Chain A
Amino acid sequence: MLRTALIALVLAAGCATAPAQADETATVTVQLTGLQPQGSVMMQVFNSAEGYGSGDQLTARQIPITAASASVSFENVPPGQYAIRLFHDVNGNGQLDTNPFGIPTEPFAFSNNARGRFGPASWEDAVFTVTAGANVHQITIPGSN
């Protein structure tokens, strides 16, 4: 009896919560513009200031680039605060190239089109809010230095 009751409770809970979960997840489509049609964009997604600062990413994507614009979608994303940083691996060597003094020679960008000052953009400038349902975030890739 107890076992049956527990199963019923779990099922009921499942019935009750499953639709709610579906409503509370989000889809995030990141649209990229201003690209040179070659190589790949290497994108990192963060969901905390700590992870953003330490490089501890939530997820990452490699997006082949064949046109001046591209988009990538993330499904079943819990609503919350996120930040993106990316670089355009124009020559396809898998890394952000820098000059001998450490200054990037391939384009890089952040969510909100945030810009850094002598370094990466801050979490505060790059963070954006994802709400349940469809979200679109646009990032323009600045030209190479």
Chain B
Amino acid sequence: MSLSRRQLLSGFAAASVIAAAGPALATETPRWSPGLDNAPVDGFAEAGMRLLSGRAPRALAGEHYRNGPGWFRYADSATGHWFDGDGFVQRFAIEDGRARHSGKFVDTPKRRLEQREQRIVMPGFGTRGDRNAAIEGPDSMNAANTSVMIVGDELWALWEGGSPTRMDPRSLATLGVRPLRADLASMPFTAHPKVEPNGRIWNLGIYGDRCIVWRLSPNGAVEDAQIIQLPTRSYVHDWAVSERHLIIPLQPWIHDRMTAPMVDGFTWHGDQPFRVLVLDKNDYSNRRVYELPAMFFFHTGDAWEDADGAIRFDLCASANADFVTHQARSMITQETGQTPSAELVLAVLHADGRAELQRSGRYGEFPQTDRRRQGRARDLVSIVDDRAVSRLGLMNWRTGAYAEHDFGADQMVQEHLFVTKPGRTNERDAWLVGVTLNAREQATELHVFDAAGVGDGPIATWRSPYRAPLGFHSTWKDA
């Protein structure tokens, strides 16, 4: 992929512009508030969804699994942050042009305790909890609420501070936490593992300025686990993997004091660089640190390497950490707020040590790419516009084209995944499958787009007779 000099703005200038011009996410009315209601305590039994429009391709068959916080409050207590609700896993099964939906809470020790006592007990990312809460280790607090992945015959509900929680992918019954290896029990495992096209799984777990690098077989067996030293503390929610490198972005939002809740222990150091640690997959001692100007991020798209050795990866970058420190809290109390949007950018790490940003001028979050191309060159990344969360966008980095569909002001769009068309290899030979929350209809909707025609709108839409909570991240399993 070639980029013009104009596209390759200097890193410092680019990020300065992000800081100065990032439009604000204004939430005049808390449209998202239905998405932060408690889900039914027993979840949703499997039921058919009504086809609203279009027709699903016959060749599209599989399950879209989705995880996110689904329980926020009891009569006299509430979580302090969107990120702390109990994990609620949903299954959208598509087959023969029909869609079915079900959902269940992940049956964690935290949830069992709090349901028994009918109050918030455990501390969390932004929740103080009961000071007398019994905490045996990270998994005492594990909300299993951030993402989900298929590993062998199991569905894993992921949380970044502790172990994966295993579930039955058909019934959504919780099978419990089983350490990936006995001596590595309770080690963190982020909610953003990276799966190579051959099925090998890479992941990190962050603890202060140290990090475990996990390498698992496609069936979840630990092939390797090493502890590495990071050049700085940071909040690492997501990262990237190319064919030859592990890429760990280290933003200057730093946990520098122990306090409850945890989020209050972080400080935004806007005068410090955004570092990127790059490790050789085959030798972690072979490392390099790049520097970009200060910016905040949650999510990456994916990474690849050019023939000249440059590493490129998508980032959704905002000017500061205000969303996580303020708005994700006020969402629980259903207050409105304003925080900077995230701009889709492409970080470029050159072989000579320089680092730059290519900007898109498009704002959004929850970036998704074609997972067949994990770690390899590609053009496309989908995002959910985070200024008006009713829009789904598809960016083409090679051509600069941006296709967009606006669902309308009543809709809140969530992450849309690439699903490969059987027997096809072109990147655009894919569907985008995802969910919206229709606030006016108080219903959850499932949509299928043709990746080659996002601007044309969904080719099929189904609706549930109820609304489910907003979620964070999803995965797809072919039938």
Assuming the contacts A100-B187, A100-B227, A145-B139, asked whether A105 and B132 have C-beta atoms less than 8 A apart, the reply is no
Closest to A121 in B: B134
- Which B residues from 190 to 241 make CB contacts under 8 A with A? 207, 210, 212, 227
We find that the number of chain B residues with CB closer than 8 angstroms to chain A is 22
Known: A101-B210, A144-B185. A117 touches B137 (CB 8 A): no
Given contacts A100-B212, A100-B227, contact A105 B135 (CB under 8 A): no
Query: Closest CB of chain A to B114's CB: distance in Å?
Result: 15
B24 at the interface (CB under 8 A from A): no
Q: Is the CB of B135 within 8 A of A99?
A: no
Taking chain A's interface residues, is the majority helix, strand, or loop, or is none over half, making it mixed? loop
Residue of B nearest to A90 (CB): B182
Q: A108-145: contact bitstring with B at CB < 8 Å (1 yes, 0 no)? A: 00000001111000000100000000000000001011
Closest chain B CB from A87 CB (angstroms): 12
Give the CA-CA distance A142 to B227 in the complex, in Å.
Answer: 28
- State in angstroms the CA–CA spacing of A115 and B179 once bound together: 22
- CA gap between A145 and B134 in the complex, in Å: 13
Instruction: Pick the contact of B136: A100, A125, A142 (CB < 8 A).
Output: A142
Q: Are A118 and B135 in contact (CB under 8 A)?
A: yes
Which residue in chain A gives the minimum CB-CB distance to B225?
Answer: A100
Q: Please give the distance in Å from A85's CB to the nearest CB on chain B.
A: 14
A99 to B181, CA, bound (A): 10
Q: How far is the CA of A101 from the CA of B182 in the complex (A)?
A: 14
Our pick among B132, B179, B185, B227 for the contact of A117 (Cβ within 8 Å) is B132
Least distance between A43 CB and chain B CB atoms (Å): 18
Considering the chains assembled together, what is the distance between the CA atoms of A142 and B135 in angstroms? Answer: 11
Question: Which of A100, A104, A116, A125 interacts with B184 by CB under 8 Å?
Answer: A100
CA distance A103 to B187 in the complex (A): 8
- The number of inter-chain residue pairs (CB within 8 angstroms) is 52
Q: In the assembly, what is the distance between CA of A130 and CA of B132, in Å? A: 24
* Total residues of chain A contacting the partner, CB 8 A: 15
- Shortest CB-to-CB span from A98 to chain B, Å, is 9
Q: Which residue of B lies closest to A119 (CB)?
A: B135
Whether A117 lies near B133 (C-beta < 8 A) is: yes
Smallest distance from the beta carbon of B429 to chain A beta carbons, Å? 43
Chain B residue with the shortest CB-CB distance to A115: B134
Residues of A within 8 A of B207 (CB): 101
> Judging by beta carbons under 8 Å apart, are A99 and B185 in contact?
yes
Complex alpha-carbon distance, A97 and B133, angstroms:
23
Complex Cα gap A125–B135 (Å):
14
A145: contacting residue among B131, B186, B188, CB under 8 A: B186
Task: Note all chain B residues with C-beta closer than 8 A to A115.
Answer: 133-136
Bound together, the chains give a CA A61 to CA B133 distance in angstroms of 29
Q: Beyond A100-B227, A117-B133, is A105–B138 a contact (Cβ under 8 Å)?
A: no
Shortest A95–chain B CB gap in Å is: 13
- Bound together, the chains give a CA A104 to CA B137 distance in angstroms of 8
Establish whether residues A101 and B187, one from each chain, have CB atoms under 8 Å apart when the complex forms: yes
Q: How far is the CA of A115 from the CA of B134 in the complex (A)?
A: 5
B308 within 8 A of A: no
Known A-B contacts A100-B212, A100-B227; the reply to A105 vs B185 at CB < 8 A is: yes
With a cutoff of 8 Å between Cβ atoms, the chain B residues found around residue A144 in the complex are 185
Cβ A116 vs Cβ B186 within 8 A: no
Chain A, Cβ-Cβ closest to B142: A145
Within 8 Å CB of A117, what residues of B?
131-135
A144 to B179 alpha-carbon distance, docked (Å): 10
A99 neighbours in B (Cβ, 8 Å): 183-187
Which A-chain residue is minimally distant from B176 (CB atoms)?
A: A143
Q: Which of A33-60 touch B at CB < 8 Å?
A: none
Chain A's closest residue to B205 (CB) is: A101
Residue contact A97 to B131, C-beta cutoff 8 Å: no
User: Can you identify 8 A-B contacts, CB atoms within 8 angstroms?
Assistant: A99-B184, A99-B185, A101-B188, A101-B207, A103-B137, A105-B182, A115-B134, A115-B135
